[in-house]
Amino acid sequence: MPAGGLVAKAAAGDNAAPLSVSEISALLKRTVEDRFGFVRLRGELSGVKRAASGHLYCSLKDDKARIDAVMWRGNAQRLSFAPEDGLEVIATGKLTTYAGRSSYQIVMDQLEIAGEGALLALLEKTKARLQAEGLFAAERKRALPYLPRVIGVVTSPTGAVIRDILHRLADRFPSHVVVWPVLVQGQGSAEQVAAAVRGFSALSPGGPVPRPDLVIVARGGGSIEDLWSFNEEIVVRAIAECSIPVISAVGHETDTTLADYAADRRAPTPTAAAEMAVPVRADLANFLDELGLRQRRSAMRPVQLGRERLEVRAQRMPALDALLAPHEQRLDDLAERLRRALADCAVDARGRLNSQTARLSAPLLLSRVDRARDKVAATRLAPRLLLDRIERARDRVASLDRLRLQLDPRAPLRRGYVLVTDDAGAVVKTRAAAKGMDSLLLEFEDGKLHVRTDKSGQGRAAAPRRSPRKGAEPRQDDLFG
């Protein structure tokens, strides 16, 4: 076969005209699409990315080969899971070629996870990633309100779940329930559940729709595929970000979803979620009655204890007479001591008065005045000082003279009293003392009179020691008559 010339020429009898690249690409495209118009491929996703147009681009590979894959926007939006690298899937679609790169690819109409094992692997991978972000941390869990006024329920309005929840709430504690109807399975269910949780969280207090105090996300039991919407990242993040405490009640007791880890409390069943949400009204009423009884007992206990202590103390108190007797005795003793003290004070005062009489005699006072006058005369001081001292001395002398006149035993004689003394000049104070004497000396204002006494108490006048004044009685006939 000749190698060919410089310029291409048609060979004799050759009816095959040369094809353009576009023509051969179109022929290949029709051939591949006719031959592989419907295929199902199993492989591992790689290089998953979503374009701005919404199309999904990725590759399917196994240990020996690799094929490009694309899913148009309409089908990509209806996927029930989020494709990611490393996930083993089964893609359903058709093979076609892409002339721009001279390559072939599969246009996927459906994309499913390749078996339950792959689904569980995706679940564990998503769980680990969200757990690393702290969405499942225990410190993020909030306490449920003890008695919520409004309870929000996110579930299907036609299933048995909502009836079980309402029935259990009515039995335990009737509450105001707000139901946000959503799809709980299938395409778009995860978005609806997430939107419902965020919608309850966005409600403002006092609005036309009451804001719940507690949110219950509920669904009945099913397979892992049926519950997969509650494993979606959008639902988990909505529950974690909700500002209202959330109870997750998805599936039966053995079913566990990622929503259970993100919620503040997990309930094994929807009925158990209703039991967690509210207490039993009858038990609460009994508890309140018990608290009221304890309050009344606590209020009366101090009164009762006080009454008991008062009775015990009253029994131990002594009688009134026993309390007053020592004080009465002390009063009597003080009264007797006061009487004796007054008598002793009078005796002492009388003795001091008698001892001071001699010091208050007129010659002595005049002598002190003369000495003071001489002292003043000898002192060379200013006239004013001398006059002041003289004035003070004159006041003292006048006071002493008044005291002398008050203490003068003969001052009463001017008022008609008589001073009775014996021959030695001692004062006779009593009648009994006078009866034992032979004679007495009576001193009057104007003179003295000497009389004699006898044992019968009769007396006769004795010769006066000095002549009485003119007009005075010469004698006293009867002293004791």
Q: Which CATH architecture has domain 137-279?
A: 3-Layer(aba) Sandwich (3.40)
Is a pLDDT exceeding 70 seen at residue 295? Answer: yes
The structure tokens listed for 330 are 């002390």
List C-alpha distances in Å: 264 to 132, 168, 198, 221, 276. Answer: 18, 21, 15, 20, 12
Total-model pTM? 0.48
Among 45-54, 201-210, 225-234, 357-366, the range scoring the smallest mean pLDDT is: 357-366
pLDDT at 192: 93
The structure tokens listed for 227 are 């519950």
Spatial distance between the Cα atoms of 198 and 246, rounded to a whole number of angstroms: 11
Cβ proximity of 445 and 414 under 8 Å: yes
Is a pLDDT exceeding 60 seen at residue 396? Answer: yes
Spatial distance between the Cα atoms of 242 and 214, rounded to a whole number of angstroms: 10
Is a pLDDT exceeding 70 seen at residue 270? Answer: yes
Specify the CATH superfamily of domain 21-113: Nucleic acid-binding proteins (2.40.50.140)
* Pick from 294, 273, 196, 206: nearest CA to 238: 196
How do residues 279-288 score in pLDDT, each as one tens digit? 988 888 888 8
Q: Where are the domains of the chain?
A: 21-113, 137-279, 341-410, 412-461
DSSP secondary-structure letter at 70?
A: E
Give me the residues paired with residue 439 across strands: 452
Backbone φ and ψ of 152, nearest 5°: -95, 135
- What does the mean pLDDT of the chain come to? 83
Answer yes or no: same fold for 21-113 and 137-279: no
CA dihedral 256, 260, 265, 266 (to 10 degrees): -20
Averaged pLDDT for residues 225-251? 91
How do residues 108-150 score in pLDDT, each as one tens digit? 998 887 766 777 777 888 888 898 999 999 999 999 998 899 9
Q: Does 474 or 18 have the greater pLDDT score?
A: 18
pLDDT category, 214, cuts 50, 70, 90?
A: very high
Binning the chain into helix, strand and coil, the percentages to the nearest 5 are 45, 20, 35
Mutual orientation of helices 160-172 and 270-277 as an angle, nearest 10°?
30
DSSP conformation letters of 465-481? SSPPPTTS-S--S-S--
Using only C-alpha atoms, the chain has a radius of gyration, in whole angstroms, of 68
Percent pLDDT > 90 in the chain is 26
pLDDT at 198: 95
Element (H, E) at 391: helix 383-407
Sign of CA dihedral 406, 411, 415, 419: positive
Spatial distance between the Cα atoms of 85 and 58, rounded to a whole number of angstroms: 9
